[in-house]
Amino acid sequence: MDNKKSYEIVKSTKSKRIRQSWNEYFMNIATVLAERSSCDRAYVGAVIVNRDNRIIATGYNGSVGSKTPQCDDIGHVMRDGHCIATLHAEINCIAYCAREGIPLKDSKIYVTHFPCLNCTKALIQSGITSIYYLDDYRMDDYAVELMKLNGIEAVKLPTGIATIPEQGL
């Protein structure tokens, strides 16, 4: 029988380019998502990735549901110095997974900003094991403590890996 293969390997003649790492890839996507935030008090984007490096949810800061007006259209709903209309990107991702029945156990999140305390609690409880973030401007020290206590890996990615949209207020 003729062993000759029907194909051959042809090396590329193009100059070798540097591929994005997984961290760059997912954080770049998170920064693009942040651009869709509809509350200009914080442009935040998040991507949840499973063990196979597949994206299972995306989210950004915005109003709840599809019928609530967006802050950028009608103004913020302020109480005690916080906009209470906005659902944070991380919770947005988690809630979507709850709605669609997507397990979050052992998944990781790429989020443009270090999570607030409430989001941290929800991330830990939902089974996320790693949190990658870019901006650590507002780090809640109790959120940091909870991550440590629960063995959650929190990794600040180097600035320059992706560009966060300029924040509003």
Which residues have a catalytic role annotated? 90
Q: Which is nearer to Zn ion, 49 or 119 (CB)?
A: 119
x-or-dash pattern for Zn ion, window 63-102, by CB under 5 A?
--------x----x------x--x-x--------------
User: Cα–Cα distance between 45 and 89 in angstroms, integer?
Assistant: 6
x-or-dash pattern for Zn ion, window 107-136, by CB under 5 A?
---------x--x-----------------
147 contributes a contact to Zn ion by CB under 5 A: no
DSSP 101-156: T---TT-EEEEEE---HHHHHHHHHHT--EEEEEE-SS--HHHHHHHHHTT-EEEE
- Residues of this chain, 148-167, that bind Zn ion according to CB under 5 A: none
The residue range among 3-11, 35-43, 103-111, 124-132 that interacts with Zn ion, by the rule CB under 5 A, is 35-43
- Compute the least distance from the CB of residue 39 to Zn ion, in Å: 3
Three-class SS of residue 63? strand
User: Cα–Cα distance between 109 and 118 in angstroms, integer?
Assistant: 15
Q: How many residues bind Zn ion (CB under 5 A)?
A: 8
Please count the helices (runs of H) and the strands (runs of E) in the chain: 5, 9
- Compute the least distance from the CB of residue 59 to Zn ion, in Å: 11
What sign for the dihedral angle of Cα 88, 56, 67, 122?
Answer: negative
List residues near Zn ion by CB under 5 A. 39, 71, 76, 83, 86, 88, 116, 119
